[in-house]
A and B are shown apart, each in its own frame.
Chain A
Amino acid sequence: MYTFDQIATQKHILDLRWQIIKTIREFFWSEKFCEVDAPLLMRLPGQEPYLSPMTVDVHDENGKAYKRFLHTSPEFAMKKLLAAGYTTIFYLGKCFRDYESFGGNHYPEFTMLEWYRTACDYTQIMNDVEMLFLELAKTTQKHIPYFSSWNRISMKELWQTYLGINLDEYLTQEALLELSIKKGFNPSKQESFEDLFFRIFLNYIEPELGKDVPTIVYEYPAQMAALAKLSDKDSRYAERFEVYIHGIEIANAFSELTNGVEQYDRFKKEQKTREKNNKPVYDIDGSFIDAVNNLPTCAGIALGVDRVVQLFTGCKDIQNVIVS
């Protein structure tokens, strides 16, 4: 908890934070987006295998207890809105994740920007990202040349560039395990494809991303699709992209999966992974599966706003850009 005089020394940073938040809202309003709310308290939280929602005890007027969870992202609520007929929506507000570090680029309570568009794929969201950052650079008068040109590169091209490897040949757990051992790492034999993939990605590729120009990395292996649609041209990959600026991941986007049956299967798999990792397993929200079944073609993105503030203020620690 900061004292008022510590906050006073941070004021120049906080001023930039409020400016960034204002610019984000104005950008989306000018693009005819509707700002929406999402409930922070959920009965059934998301199932992402590695996220831990915070549990909250809520009581009614008779003292009867209900277990609720703080949302880890507004995604479920926003997709229900899209299924209900909304076309361009954004959320700017708090999200919560337990078992996260209290510093660096993470904090248990953080500010998230999510936006969705119907009748488009993820390339339209890439355009939005590029325009939004240029707007932020202009209003803050910082990093304008850096944000004036972007690099869009596929995950497969990155593996070829930084490792000299054709990723198509490493899309199984066995192949990646062998590669990891060859590279001198010490993974367990049962390690998941995703962990093996990210260890190599984080060691060899990520530190290089976004150094000279902001970089959008697209088409992730299908194993990492989460809520993304598989690519029409190669179903071994999913239409997912991430935004990297100076080696830091700022946002994660998908062409959204619109098939409820497949969504249900993926949730079932995620429940199994959670069970294996000794994480609490939650029931699947049937109303969300219904919504996915009724989703029009759409794409969306989640972007960490505190990290954007860190970027524009040069603060290495997230705690310096929030009021705590």
Chain B
Amino acid sequence: MADTTAIKKGAVIRHNNDLYVVTDFSFVNPGKGSAFTKTKMKSISAGKTIEITYKSGETVDVVQVSRQTMQYLYKNGEMFSFMNKETYETIDVSADVLEDESRYLKEGMDVIAVIHEEGIVAIQLPIKVQYTVKTAPPAVKGDSAGGNVTKEIVLENDLTIQAPIFIKEGEKVLVNTETGDYGGRVTE
């Protein structure tokens, strides 16, 4: 048992005899009242997402899970393959488990896998990930004067983001995997 401070993305909670993975959470203070934690979580067995709001400090049945650094190998049909870097064992995960996070995967990157009963129930990405820019339309002179200070660029893993107009193909950029926002240019 733990309290609401243990609620974080990837935490596994037992609720009504089912296990849920926390996919999102936020704090609310209704009308200047005391704090509550709004928790979005997905059933591991049924995949259904529910939303529960706990009073902050309330007891929550947080289930012990193991976390393991794993390397993303490749996409195989609808399954994503990850490898345990110590044992070289691979585990396949379906797209439903990864949801939005699959957009940020690139081959060879390390993620933290949340493991329950030998299956991956969620992955945690590094907050900032570096990608090489695959395509970026050239900046047109006068763009910034017209107020267009961003453009759409495509990264090595086909992820599309908004970036400043000065970013060029082949450059390396950082992306915030929590928001999908541009997080800076990497200069080497």
Contacts and interface: CB of A to CB of B under 8 A. Distances in A.
A224 B52 contact: no
A185 B51 CA distance: 14
Interface residues of B, number: 32
Interface residues of A, number: 43
A226 interface: yes
B179 A317 contact: yes
Given A6-B183, A320-B181, A198 B33 contact: yes
Contacts of B38: 202
A277 B182 CA distance: 42
A57 interface: no
A207 interface: yes
A236 interface: no
A252 B31 CA distance: 6
Given A5-B164, A199-B53, A194 B181 contact: no
Interface string B22-38: 00001111111111101
Given A5-B164, A12-B150, A186 B58 contact: yes
B92 to A, nearest CB: 30
Contact of A8 (B31, B32, B150): B150
A11 B29 contact: no
A249 B55 CA distance: 17
A195 B28 CA distance: 12
Interface stretch (A80-88, A98-106, A117-125, A282-290): A98-106
B16 interface: yes
Nearest to A51: B32
B65 interface: no
Given A6-B184, A9-B182, A50 B35 contact: yes
A317 B178 CA distance: 10
Interface in B105-145: none
A194 B59 contact: no
B9 interface: no
B149 A11 contact: yes
Interface in B138-165: 147, 149-150, 162-164
Given A6-B183, A11-B150, A104 B34 contact: no
A264 to B, nearest CB: 19
Contact of B26 (A8, A104, A194, A277): A104
Nearest to A200: B53
Given A3-B184, A184-B16, A252 B32 contact: yes
A8 B28 CA distance: 30
A5 B185 contact: yes
A5 B161 CA distance: 14
A113 B170 CA distance: 46
A296 B182 CA distance: 52
Contacts of A187: 55, 58
B27 A194 contact: no
Nearest to B27: A101
* 9 nearest A-B pairs in the assembled complex, by CB-CB distance: A104-B26, A202-B53, A101-B27, A50-B34, A8-B149, A9-B182, A5-B164, A198-B30, A8-B164
16 contacts: A5-B164, A6-B183, A8-B149, A9-B164, A11-B150, A104-B27, A106-B26, A186-B58, A187-B58, A192-B34, A198-B31, A198-B55, A203-B52, A203-B53, A224-B33, A277-B34
Interface of A: 3, 5-6, 8-12, 15, 48-51, 100-101, 103-106, 184, 186-187, 191-192, 194-195, 198-199, 201-203, 206-207, 220, 224, 226, 240, 242, 249, 252, 277, 317, 320
Given A8-B150, A48-B32, 10 more contacts: A5-B184, A9-B182, A10-B181, A11-B150, A199-B36, A199-B55, A202-B30, A206-B53, A220-B31, A317-B179
